[in-house]
Amino acid sequence: MKTRILSIVLLGLLITAVPAASQRPLQRVDSDGFGGCTLLDVVTLSSGTLVACGDRNTVIRSVDDGQTWQRIQTPATFLTTFHACAALQNSVWCVGEGGTAIRSTDDGQTWQLAPSFGADVYDVAARGSAACAVGAGGRTWLSTDAGQTWALHQLPSTDTVTLYGVTIREDQTVVAVGEGSTIASRASNANAWTISQLEILATLRSIAYATNPVGYVVATSAVLRTTDGGATWTPIFIAPESDADVESLVNIYVTQDRKAIVTGSTGGALLLSTGTGSMAPISTSDSTQLLSVTRTSGAIVAVGADGRIARSSDADGSSWTDVGGQYSPLLLTVAHTPTQFSAAGTNARLLLNATAAPLTCSSCPTDSALLGSAVGPFGTIVSVSSGGAYRSNDGSMWERIPTLDGYHLTALRAYGSTVWGAGRSSIVRSTDGQTFAQVAQVANGSFTGVASNQQGTVVASLFTGGLLRSTNDGTTWNDAAAPDNIRLTDVACAGPNEFIAVGVEGTFLRSVDGGQTFSRDVAIGRHSMFTSVSADVSTGSVAAVTTEGDILYRANRDAPWQLQRTATVLSSVSVAGNTLFAVGAGGSVFRIDMETQTSIGYTAPSRLHVRPNPANGPFIVSIPPLTSRVELRIVSTSGSTLYVTSVSDGDTEVRVNPLLLPIGAHAIQLVGSNGSVIAQASIVLLR
């Protein structure tokens, strides 16, 4: 239960060749970690292989008990969140947002898309040939043939609760849990679900059985145990109201020796049962939240936020070490004008200057990713993975945009004061950056990008394949002519009649007739997926980036295509005038002057760990190993230094009393003697 360098390939479809002499290496940035992603689930296969999944289309695999990991490419969109993974006899499945499902039959090495479930799926469980997936709206999907076919079964309730966890007991009874203290059970020979509620009012996140009569259920701040097959439940752990570190328990795993391990503590700890009904925290080597756990023959492995992977080789999980290099942030979106800049990503973090310390969208949910960003006369707008969007004039105060409530926008694009948004099933438009209206909707699809010219032509790309086109600012829409069955990830307008669309397998499509027809253009290799494309209508400059770290661009309409390469997964690109910015894993920001072909690579500093955070009193900053004296600074969102203290080689912690510091969000920085920021974090001070 439940988080290389490319070569140019000259194919028959190649229309415009990219000259080999134009390839320029960029500054290398570490891309070995899975930082920025949140790993939501991990499972052990019968072969002993570990597979973990999470947001940002993340699937990783380990064949050595979790000591080393490899990122695996999947056919899903870059923005897909996989909530859960499970082993179903001879296959392994990952399921998640929007009902997306992928399946592997070769021990997790390669993946294929499976038919969509049609709604968000939060967990999947299997035993033998029986399997059950659960999700939004009280939906459950049952399979009796190890996932070959699935049948939808709705819970018999007028209130459509969301189900978050499911397990299958040894007697083949399926048990699911979810909102409103709901526990739903279904015996192997039953034709319907039986519904019950716990006496406590809580959202139930996970359930597991050690044996048929002995089981555990996890609420957000409590763990309950049954010894009679679920007839009665007794709390064995309740978080104190004052203990913020255990208010978000999410998952449970029962080991072969019948011990239960609970994940979700925001303090990075795990809860371990003794098997006799009691449960106590186990400290781990880091405070980053762990969200799922599994066991191999040689280790217990847990995964979680910020790509964290922790491992214990002790049978009782008494001591833990972290698999290194997992903590870099992930920037998902970038937008800029000659005078404005915004890059945003995981954990509601954003940059309003390419070289400054990251800030936090103070009003956004802290566990959400910022998926889209737009800048213009209206300030900065960011869209949030949990739904909705926020706006700020200068980054210090953020306000919710009520007209975008309920919309899951993955892309934002501004043309002056007009802002377009593309999301799960909708296109929205605003003429002032504040009030939005829906102008297009699809029942079975997901919009990935939208672009417009000054003549009122709008083109939208679909990950399910194809493009839609409007010639009246989105009032009516028709299909654009394009190659069939191509999954597209973005679209941009490069001139009065020129549109560029990009997608999976190196797809690069171009239209020169106002978006009526698209045909294949530049080719860089079918194993590379374009994640983003951007253009400047006035100059005709275009740039596109890929998951393999390629930056493909032209400086103007008459310029040849150039290809620059990084060692970083790139997720977004922005073009304005002759300048492009590309962002991605490791918090990396790349800037290229397309006319002079000069580039600067900015690599985000490593992350400091702060506890507690938020803080209403003294807090502690953990200090990484140092080789010389540095300064610890606390800096306001406006750039003013609020606090400075020296940190010496050998110091492991700094305790800060914020009595004289203003409330709000601030940056904490370790600054070297040359003024460079070595490591950083954000802190929210309360009163």
pLDDT in tens, 236-282: 888 765 443 334 677 787 776 667 888 876 566 677 776 566 777 77
pLDDT at 31: 31
163: left (phi over 0), alpha (psi -120 to 50) or beta: beta
How far is the C-alpha of 100 from the C-alpha of 114, rounded, in Å? 8
How far is the C-alpha of 93 from the C-alpha of 74, rounded, in Å? 12
Q: Hey, what amino acid is at 521?
A: D
pLDDT tops 90 at residue 607: no
pLDDT in tens, 173-201: 999 999 889 999 999 888 889 998 887 77
How far is the C-alpha of 171 from the C-alpha of 169, rounded, in Å? 5
| Closest to 528 (Cα-Cα) out of 547, 510, 545 | 547
pLDDT at 247: 44
Strands across the sheet containing 458-462? 447-452, 458-462, 467-470, 478-479
Strands across the sheet containing 609-611? 609-611, 619-622, 653-656
Strands across the sheet containing 359-360? 331-336, 341-345, 349-351, 359-360
pLDDT in tens, 114-140: 999 988 999 999 999 999 999 988 999
How far is the C-alpha of 173 from the C-alpha of 177, rounded, in Å? 13
Q: Mean pLDDT lowest for which of 18-32, 136-150, 274-288, 660-674?
A: 18-32
pLDDT at 42: 94
pTM for the predicted model, two decimal places: 0.57
The pLDDT > 70 percentage for the chain reads 85
pLDDT at 662: 83
Q: Mean pLDDT lowest for which of 85-89, 667-671, 683-687?
A: 683-687
How far is the C-alpha of 536 from the C-alpha of 521, rounded, in Å? 18
How far is the C-alpha of 173 from the C-alpha of 189, rounded, in Å? 9
pLDDT in tens, 517-558: 999 987 776 557 899 999 999 999 999 998 778 899 999 999
pLDDT at 245: 39
Per the model's pLDDT, the better-predicted residue between 12 and 71 turns out to be 71
How far is the C-alpha of 383 from the C-alpha of 385, rounded, in Å? 7
pLDDT tops 70 at residue 15: no
pLDDT at 515: 95
pLDDT at 246: 39
CB distance 311 to 320 below 8 Å = yes
| Closest to 310 (Cα-Cα) out of 58, 39, 623, 36 | 39
pLDDT in tens, 656-681: 988 878 877 777 888 877 666 777 77
Give the tokens for residue 260.
Answer: 């239960």
326 — pLDDT class (breaks 50, 70, 90)? very low
Q: Which secondary-structure segment (H or E) carries 501?
A: strand 499-503
pLDDT tops 90 at residue 24: no
pLDDT at 638: 60
pLDDT at 72: 86
Give the tokens for residue 237.
Answer: 């752990």
Q: Which residues fall within 8 angstroms of residue 331, CB to CB, at 6 or more apart? A: 36, 343, 344, 345, 351, 571, 572, 583, 584, 585, 587, 588, 589, 604
Highest mean pLDDT among 13-17, 185-189, 606-610: 185-189
CB distance 112 to 94 below 8 Å = no
Q: Which residues fall within 8 angstroms of residue 639, CB to CB, at 6 or more apart? A: 356
pLDDT in tens, 611-641: 887 777 888 998 887 777 889 999 876 667 8
